Amino acid sequence: MMVSLGVKSQDPIILNLNKPMAINFPTSPTTNDTHTENNLNWKFNGTSWIALPTPSVAGNVAYTPAGTGAVTTDVETKLRESVSVKDFGAVGNGVADDTAAIQAAIDYAESLGGGSVILPIGTYKLTSNILIDGDHVGIVGLSRGATILSDFDGNVIDVGGSLGAKTKGNFIESVTFTETSYSRTIGNPFIKIEQAESVVIRDVAFDSVTSPVYQNETLNVQFQNVHIKAHKGTAMEWRNSVDTWVTTLHIIGDNVDPSAFVTSTEIRRCL
């Protein structure tokens, strides 16, 4: 039987022919049977045994959180609980286009059923729209040291689903938003929240942006510690929404454009 080992052609291979490695495969396997021996995994394809990829080192290292009742997992699983845009190629220098990398990170978090997409400290340039349309997915900056810079005209971040299929549990936290010299048309919101439920916008700042927030057809949206400075166009526009909670909202406008426009919206607990 020939076994193919996954090694690079330039790697030296040293074999001790006096001690050949013997694998004790089952004598009567059926298709898709698996076998583990000497920390190696094999699968029977109906004709022969095929070596399966070796798990990563992180996958073989146990991780046990502190505290009573904590459950042991492995380091690889623990690391995958959060997703960094850097994992998908984002640069964060304010020059490189990070749109595709950020969207890929969001899509991956959605494929896991939810999670935080981490923006490390830096300035992330966007040249087209970002879409968050999966449940329990959001963007989290590190200590508000992450800045999203819009360099195009249009909605920058869309949060929500479709009519009759609202997303749930989305969030945007600890991020500063800005744009290139008021480059966007009034009425194209920086963040558009539509057909969404249980959304949290927390510890975010808008610095010299056009139409910062638009909200429509939502349920239970919370704004916590939001700062808007030198906006162009309406700062906050809420329409046809139920249970909008506002805690600490600072709007410093230019005394020309309205700070807020509200229609058919129930706003509760404004502090």
**229 close to 207: Cβ distance less than 8 angstroms:** yes
The string over 55-73, giving b where at least 16 C-beta atoms fall within 10 Å of a residue's C-beta and e elsewhere, is eeeeeeeeeeeeeeeeeee
Measure the CA–CA gap between 47 and 25, rounded to whole angstroms.
13
DSSP 210: B
**234 close to 260: Cβ distance less than 8 angstroms:** yes
pTM above 0.85, yes or no: no
Cβ neighbours of residue 23 under 8 Å, at least 6 residues apart? 3, 35, 37, 38, 40, 42, 49
Cβ neighbours of residue 256 under 8 Å, at least 6 residues apart? none
Per-residue pLDDT of the chain (271 residues; tens, 9 = 90+): 444 444 444 444 443 444 456 788 888 899 888 888 877 888 888 888 888 766 666 566 777 777 787 888 777 777 767 799 999 999 999 999 999 999 999 999 999 899 999 999 999 999 999 999 999 999 999 877 799 999 999 899 999 998 778 999 999 999 999 998 777 888 899 999 999 999 999 999 999 888 899 999 999 999 999 998 877 888 888 888 888 888 888 888 665 465 665 555 556 554 4
Cβ neighbours of residue 94 under 8 Å, at least 6 residues apart? 122, 123, 124, 125, 147, 149
Measure the CA–CA gap between 249 and 145, rounded to whole angstroms.
20
